[in-house]
Structure 1
Amino acid sequence: MYRFISSVLLIYALTLSYSFSQTNGSLRGTVIDGVNSRPLGFATVNVLNPDSSIVGGFVTQDDGIFLIENLKAGIYLIRISFLGYETIFIPDIRIKTTEQTSLNEVKLQPKGITKNEVVITAEKNIISSNAEKKVFNVDPSLNPGASAAEVLQQLPSVTSDQDGNISLRGEGSVLILIDGKPSALSGNGGNLLQQINASSIEKIEVITNPSSRYDADGSNGVINIILKKNTRQGANCLMNISYGSWNKNTSGISANYRGKKSNFFINGNYRYIPVFTLGDVEREYRLDKNPFEYDQTLDGYNYPHNLSFRGGADFNFNETHALSMSSSLGYNPTLINETYTYMVVSDSSKIILNNTLFNRINNPASNFEHTISYRWTNPRSGSVVNIAGAWSRNQDKRDIDGWRYDLDPYHTLIDSSLVRLNSIFKNRNDIIVAQADYEESIFKTWKLESGLKATLRFIDNSYYGDKTKEQVLAVDTNNNAIQYKDQIYAIYGMLSGNVGKTSIRAGLRAEQAYRNFTVTRMDLPFTNQRLNLFPSLFVTHKLTKNINASVSYSKRINRPSVQTLNPFPDNNDPNNQIIGNPYINPEIIHALELGGQWNSSNSTLTLTLYMRQTLDKIQRIRVTEGLISTIQFLNLNSAMNTGAEAIWRYDWAKWMNTTLSGNAYSIYLNSENIGDAINTRGWTCTGKLLCIIKPTKFFDIQINSNYNAPFITPQGKIRAIYYTDLSVKKDILRKRGSLTLGILDVMDTRQFGINTLYQNITQDVIRKRESRILNVGFNYRFGKNENTAQRKKNITDEFGGGGD
């Protein structure tokens, strides 16, 4: 491994040396939206000779930056274009040998807006896509009071359960990133997404087949949540507030000041979304002797408070040096009241067991994150070095006070049966990330990328439990602690470029992982060391002006979570437990996709066929002994997923557009190694409809419908889930503000249900979380450069940018 690292560092040094030896000139700039100053990624920049022949070209990065190198000295014409924007030409750009020519910021105007009268009302498409990822631009005014989990439910192929846990194309194990980095909350995707306000999100990227540039974790893809940084010029502020049914309320404020070379921003958000949860478990023991029925009900109330702050600064000292830093803090206390009732009835209707458990859970939690990044651009060659570091921590404590008592056949409390249960869970999760990335354009239209990354994760879990009548024991009798250390060191390299109408991007990533897992009660350490290589290849070919075809392959890994490894049972519900397996192996995934995209003036159609093979598939299996049902984890030999995905966007008129998406797939499980009789084949489909109607320039109506068909599991079937959300927005105060009315789950149909059959036992589970929620929201923005309906007269910049 050390020889491997030394070799890569030597290649780094040689590459850097090469970059300083360049003698031809280069052209650099940034493409931005001429209305709201946001960077435009994936815009096309071409360098043309006076006879219009193409000399070189580049596709801008996510931050709008482009760099075209190895240009011979001379005078050129620059053409910049992007879908939905007016193409511009910048003539007489002089390129000098050994020098970099800068265009600074080049502004593209949305089509249909004239130069002399620009109305600042431009908006991005809600969903856009390219060969590697799909981008969802969030409009918080259409999602009053929503969390990131609720926003994600609008995305094609993304589904979530009632706890906010995310699945992509029907499968879990999704790597969730915040601004491109893992967070200490990422280990619990439900908590992470519930705590992020929609108003603080700029956009969400969904990457179903990530390249070698990304961490190899996340077998089914990556979801990257980009938070707002408020980059408008001058001083600006945006405030939002919402109030929902049963005292649900959210509020937020974001402000920034941007000068010529610096930007300072701060955000603050508060969420209080109390919800109720109802559940029912019916279990029938079909035994040869003494069959009986088990029934359990749940009546729960959740009162979560989420308070978060985020601030930072960006400094662009010159064309060579840039520095960014940010910090965030969060405090999330939660109170949960749960009442479980348990009843066991014989086949002769005799009550065998009748008791009740009441839990009161206090769950204070806090988190923070600090990040810093430095960007250096070689003024001679235009090569770029990025160095970044981050440290995040999440810690929480679950203090559970429980009272269990028995009832007689007449449902009367038996005083002598009262038992008090007390348990305390403590958790601290630290993640430290350090990385360095290098980019350089070579051979005119090719780009070389490489990087080093270290990710260190430290998790400490402890559990203290007591059980006694009438009082809590002074000495703990049921204790356990877990120490988990995970170190991943990664090196990657990527080469991308164009050959005629074909775009190629190939990469290789190497990850050395060290894992140490210790359970004190068992007094046994579990260690694991693995070196894995993860290749990726993406090929896109432009068949015609409006049709692209692509094929991609990547290898990924799904490392088991702490819950999956922890052999100590979760006793929150004594009759339904989860026990991990410290000997579980990680999954290795090979993913292949074949796609095509067709564009017209008012429509976009994206089709994808995919196949995913998973080795050592991690599977949850339910086992029952007596009245206790336990979920265990084990490895199957393999699994194979094959499916098709379609996304169709159509603009019916200027005032109406729809996005219809669907995903259908089948799964085959090879479970010969466990020998149990489980379902090995199944298929399902999902469908989403997003419709946006603008009856007037001041009104917006959004309808979002979702349907998940029934799905066969290894031991049963998950029932269909379907629901519709509706929101209406009215612009007011000269479009500086807006009022929004939103209704989640209009027909109150959303609930989770699963039927299972195993060990001569049938079980039906229904879980219904409060889902029909009415919200009223208000947004107001003000500042020097608001995105309002003000008009700018007499724009004198002929090309929307500058040139040297």
Structure 2
Amino acid sequence: MKSLVLTFFTLILVIPAGLFGQATDITLTGQVVDPASGTPVEFATVMVGDRNNRQAITGTTTDADGRFTVATDRQNIFLEISFIGYDKLTIEEIPAGQKVVDLGTLSLASQSAMLDEVTVRAEKSSTEFKLDRRVFNVGKDLSSTGASALEVLNNVPSVNVSIEGDISLRGSTGVQVLINGKPSVIASEQGNALGTLTADMIESVEVITNPSAKYDAEGTSGIINIVLKKEERKGMNGSMTLNVGAPHNHSLGLSLNRRTEKFNLFSQLGAGYRELPNDTRSINRDLTTGNVLFSEGEEFRNEQFYNFVLGTDYYIDERNVITLSGNFAYEVEDQPSSTEFRLEDVNGDEISRWARSETTEATNPKWQYELNYKRDFKDDKDHDLVFSILGRYFGKDQTSAFLNTTIEGQDRDGEQQTRTDFLEAENTFKLDYTRPFDDKWTLETGAQYVIKDVSNDFAVRNLENGVFVDNPDLTNVFNWNQNVLALYGTGAYEFGKWGLKLGMRVENTDLRTLLETTGESNNQNFTDLFPSAHSSYKINEGFSVQAGYSRRIFRPRLWDLNPFFNIRNDFNIRVGNPDLQPEYTDSYELTSIFIFGEASLNAGVYHRYTTDVVERVSSFANNVNTVMPMNIGTNASTGLEVNGKYSPGKKVSFMGDFNFNFFQRVGELEGQSFDFSADQWSGRITAKMKLPADLEVEVTGQYQSAFQTVQSTVSDQLFADMGVRKKLLKGRGALNLSVRDVFVSRIQESQIIQEDFTIYNRRFRGRFITLGFSFGFGKGEAMEFSAQKRHF
């Protein structure tokens, strides 16, 4: 009886409903692995088919160890194994007459092994203008090759991805990367995981250089939005990265992304240690007394860092998705520095010489959360409603000890201590609604509310008679609270080759600052209008033009307003200005794109007019240079920008950026005129070469001309970076070597010449070398280079 019951339930499980046959008499087992690494392939599809009609009979999937077991009662069968990113494996001959057939270890060939044999026949990637953005549609020439998202971005006009994974737009790295129109951990700079997205998952890439009223009026240099295909939800992908560097820059990171019909689970783990040295030199010359103060030193910022990210997209159904994610990071800082000072009189005789050392320790906990809900409506694929909540928290608990030691001359001995308790919390609530009425008309509207609260408790103590005593002039609690409420609406009309988009954004800013000890406060409440207008015209397939206007705002940040400072060098100090006002910019641009053969060229002219310009202004007393931000007049800037890409062959490509602008400054401060006209320009060229043995080499040369500010002249800079990448394990692994500032020529120099004082400053950080290894699995490729990076 037990045997009969077992046979009955076995038939129910393995035979389609309505068909009954004889008992199972063959079981197939085996293990599926990656041929390069030997690691098991999880969730591979295993199908048993009929050799006569080639129809499927039954099937299963591999487990976490890549193993499978499947049973059937048929005899003339074949086995087929498949998984995304691999070629199908078909076993035609299955031994007959055996109850159990162990097929052993089965290797799936990676599709990346066939990349050199791919022939592109249709659906080539193309770029088109759409009102306020350029859209790069990903064709089969990229999606069929298994390229990563970073490689896709490298094919987008105006976008460049260095061999280290740094993304720049029009030569500027200040770009925001979105996934499906919203911030994502995958696109975060804190461990770039874009390598886990492959080209076949991407529908298009949108480039926005002059954002419309839909976006924050206080924006970045541009926005890149990666639009994913809705059907590409399945699969496991991820990447592991190990980096070592000199000066010390060591990290270990792991990124995972698991997609199913209902869930997209993503996570990141990272830890490491890095050092950031900085050599400084300054000369403060008092033209009234003739005294000259020389200082030279070396500063370090050393950090241990730990990072953990976990999040998921939950697809309620085909039209509703919820995203929930969290990120926790913890940093332990050590900031040793040493500076030697020398004071000379008008005759060049030494008055005093002393050394100042600093020992600073700090801990920085950070966390972030995001809750996002998106509703797609049935009538149109672009008809949607998005609600999101984003929260950020940052804390710093820091203590510093400073020691002055007289070397010779006038006594300069002394000790100081500082303490900083810093807390920052920011919460953003956002609602966006998009409604296309037909193929021509589209309405966008929404609201945003940002709440930011900051408290900085800062204290300075001096050693007096063997006891540390608070310095009341430098000790206070600074509170900074800013709330911004925004409403926006845009309307777009497109027909044929021409389109127009108009928008308006209204923002109310409520800003309050308070110095608790002295009771000084500064409360500001103002409402601004930020209009935008965009138009585009497609002349032909290879030539399009786009015009845009937007009004932007720069709101003073905490450190622009906070009057307290770091006293590392107490003869060159920076302080904030609690009375600082925001600056406003009207931005106009006319751009065009030319695509001819293997080359693309973007050219544009722009004009920006800024009022209440924030400038750093130096004041001088007793050889002490105090720098404070001030609002000084207006700046009118007109410029030309050209960038292009050219690929003379499959193995070589060149990218270049050139920017020239002429500006006119008009302003007055305390009876002193700051009117002047000047220009500045910059250029960059990058060459990328693919060499035998899967080697890739990238060399970048960059020049920034000297330029003038209201008080100073900043010297020019000429420097070069390079990188080498070696693909391993059929593209699954990569070895990266990068060298920043190859010739140690990236030196920052500035000089201020006024009637009663001159100031010279010089800073440089030297050469940085990093060696990294990355390994991608599932659908992910090896990441380009994903250590946590500090931008210079």
Structure 1 residues 240-268: Cα deviation after superposition (integer angstroms, max 9, x where no partner): 11111244212211112211221111111
Cα deviation for residue 603 of structure 1 reads 0.8
Q: CA deviation at 1:345?
A: 0.5
SS at 1:563 equivalent: helix
Q: 1:722, CA displacement in angstroms?
A: 1.9
Question: TM-score of the superposition, structure 2-length normalised?
Answer: 0.75
CA distance in 1, matches of 2:268, 2:506: 37
Rounded Cα–Cα distance in structure 2 between residues aligned with 1:112 and 1:274: 38
Aligned CA distance change for structure 1 residues 182 and 365 (closer, same or farther; 3 Å): farther
2:99 paired residue number: none
Judged with a 3 Å threshold, the aligned counterparts in structure 2 of structure 1 residues 86 and 665 are, in CA distance, closer, same or farther, namely closer
Secondary structure of the equivalent of 2:347?
coil
* 2:389 match: 389
Residue 336 of structure 1 and its aligned partner are, at CA, apart by: 0.8
Q: More displaced, 325-334 or 262-271?
A: 262-271
CA 1:179 to 1:709, structure 2 compared with 1: closer, same or farther past 3 Å? farther
CA spacing shift, 1:544–1:697, aligned 2, 3 Å: farther
Match of 2:257 in 1: 256
Instruction: Find out whether 1:587 has 2:583 as its counterpart.
Output: yes
Residue 394 of structure 2: SS of its match in structure 1?
Answer: strand
Q: Which residue of 2 aligns with 1:197?
A: 191
Whole-Å Cα distance in 1 between the matches of residues 225 and 487 of structure 2? 24
Confirm or deny: 8 A CA contact 1:422 1:472 kept in the other structure. Answer: no
In the alignment, the residues of structure 1 paired with residue 363 and residue 750 of structure 2 have an alpha-carbon distance, to the nearest angstrom, of: 31
Partner SS, residue 563 of structure 2 = coil
Corresponding residue number in structure 2 for 1:343: 342
In structure 2, C-alpha distance between the alignment counterparts of 1:445 and 1:366, rounded to whole Å: 49
* Structure 2 contact 235–258 (Cα < 8 Å) conserved: yes
Deviation at 1:697, TM superposition (A): 7.0
Conservation of the 8 A alpha-carbon contact between 1:201 and 1:226: no
Structure 2 counterpart of 1:278, which letter? Answer: D
Q: Residues 781 and 177 (structure 1 numbering): CA distance in 2 closer, same or farther, change over 3 Å?
A: closer
TM-superposed deviation, 1:671: 0.9
Q: Secondary structure at the match of 1:389?
A: strand
**Would the alpha carbon gap of residues 119 and 551 (structure 1) be closer, same or farther in structure 2, given more than 3 Å must change?**
closer
Once residues 606 and 525 of structure 1 are traced to their aligned partners in structure 2, the CA distance between those partners, rounded to angstroms, is: 48
Partner of 2:141, secondary structure, is: coil
Offset at 1:614? Answer: 0.7
Relative to 1, partners in 2 of residues 1:568 and 1:299: Cα closer, same or farther, differing over 3 Å? closer
In structure 2, the partner of 1:156 is 170
Residue equivalent to 1:90: none
The answer as to 2:479 corresponding to 1:449 is no
Q: Which residue of 1 aligns with 2:125?
A: 84
SS of the equivalent of 1:364 reads strand
Is the 1:567–1:580 contact (alpha carbons within 8 Å) kept by the matching residues of 2?
yes
Equivalent position amino acid for 1:422 in 2: Q
SS of alignment partner, residue 734 of structure 1: helix
Q: Give the deviation of 1:755 after TM superposition.
A: 1.4
In 2, distance between residues paired with 1:527 and 1:181? 32
Q: What's the counterpart of residue 265 of structure 1?
A: 266
Q: Residues 516 and 82 (structure 1 numbering): CA distance in 2 closer, same or farther, change over 3 Å?
A: farther
1:618 aligns with 2:614: yes
Matched residue type, 2:426: I
Alpha-carbon shift at residue 347 of structure 1 (Å): 2.4
Matches within 5 A, 1:161-240: 196-198=190-192, 207-218=208-219, 221-222=221-222, 233-240=234-241
Paired residue type of 1:618:
V
The 2-side partners of 1:396 and 1:330 are apart by: 12
- SS at structure 2 position matched to 1:111: helix
Alignment of 1:418 onto 2:437 = no
1:620 to 1:35, Cα distance in 2 relative to 1, 3 A: farther
Between the aligned partners of 2:562 and 2:304, the Cα distance in structure 1 is: 29
Q: CA RMSD in A?
A: 3.4
Aligned positions of 1:324-723 closer than 5 A: 324-380=323-379, 383-409=383-409, 418-469=413-464, 471-473=466-468, 477=472, 478-672=474-668, 674-678=670-674, 680-696=676-692, 698-723=694-719
Structure 2: state its 5+ residue gaps. 1-82, 87-121, 129-136, 198-204, 783-792
SS in 2 for 1:407: strand
Contact 2:265–2:312, Cα closer than 8 Å, also in 1: yes
Q: Quote how far apart the aligned CAs of 1:456 are.
A: 0.5
Letter paired with 2:644:
W
Q: Distance in 1 between matches of 2:717 and 2:584?
A: 30
Match of 2:90 in 1: none
Q: Give, in angstroms, the shift of residue 632 of structure 1.
A: 1.8
Give me the whole-angstrom Cα distance separating, in 1, the residues matched to 2:536 and 2:154.
20
Which residue in the other structure is 2:34 paired with?
none
Return the alpha-carbon distance in structure 2 between the equivalents of residues 445 and 622 of structure 1: 55
- 1:796 is matched with none
The alpha carbon displacement at 1:601 in A equals 2.6
Residue type matched to 1:747 in 2? Answer: F
Give 4+ residue runs of structure 1 displaced > 6 Å after superposition. 34-37, 174-183, 200-206, 224-232
The amino acid that maps onto 1:407 is I
Rounded Cα–Cα distance in structure 2 between residues aligned with 1:735 and 1:459: 46
**3-state SS, counterpart of residue 317 of structure 1:** strand
Aligned letter for 1:379?
A: K
Query: How far did 1:129 drift?
Result: 5.4
Deviation of residue 362 (structure 1)? 0.8
CA distance in 2, matches of 1:448, 1:733: 49
1:63 maps to which residue? none
Counterpart secondary structure, 1:398: strand
Answer whether contact 1:418 1:470 (CA < 8 A) is retained. Answer: no
CA separation in 2, counterparts of 1:628 and 1:716?
A: 17
Matching residue of 1:318: 317
Question: How far does residue 271 in structure 1 lie from its aligned partner after superposition?
Answer: 3.5
**Alpha-carbon spacing, 1:577–1:458, altered in 2? closer, same or farther (3 Å):** same
* Offset from partner CA, 1:697-745 (integer Å, 9 cap, x none): 7221111221111111211211111211111111111221111222111
Give the number of aligned pairs.
Answer: 646
8 Å CA contact 1:337–1:360 kept in 2: the answer is: yes
Deviation at 1:551, TM superposition (A): 1.0
| SS of equivalent to 1:564 | helix
Letter in 1 for 2:191: N
Q: Does the CA contact (< 8 Å) of 2:713 and 2:751 recur in 1?
A: yes
Work out whether residues 617 and 636 of structure 1, in 8 Å CA contact, stay in contact via their aligned partners in 2: yes
**Equivalence for 1:27:** none
1:398 to partner: Cα distance: 2.3
The Cα shift of 1:472 comes to: 4.9
How many angstroms apart in 2 are the aligned matches of 1:674 and 1:223? 39
Aligned counterpart for 1:111 among listed residues 124, 127, 141: 141
**What per-residue deviation string (whole Å, max 9, x for no partner) do you get for residues 333-358 of structure 1?**
11011112221111222222322211
Tell me the percent identity.
20
1:212-232 Cα deviation digits (max 9, x unpaired): 1111114x7346798999987
What's the offset of the Cα at 1:521? 3.0
In structure 2, the residue matched to 1:54 is none
Q: In the aligned structure 2, how far is the partner of 1:486 from the partner of 1:86?
A: 40
Per-residue deviation, 1:234: 2.2
Q: Please list the CA deviations of residues 591-619 of structure 1 after superposition, one character each: whole Å capped at 9, or x if unmatched.
A: 10011111123011001111110111111
Q: Which amino acid aligns with 1:84?
A: S
What residue is the counterpart of 2:773 in the other structure? 778
CA contact (8 A) 1:395 1:428 kept: yes
Which secondary structure state, in structure 2, belongs to the residue aligned with residue 260 of structure 1? coil
1:83-102 alignment to 2 at 5 Å? 84=125
TM-score (normalised: structure 1):
0.74
C-alpha deviations, 1:575-599, integer Å up to 9, x for none?
A: 1122322222211111100111111
Distance 1:584 1:175, change over 3 A: farther
Q: Distance in 1 between matches of 2:126 and 2:565?
A: 57
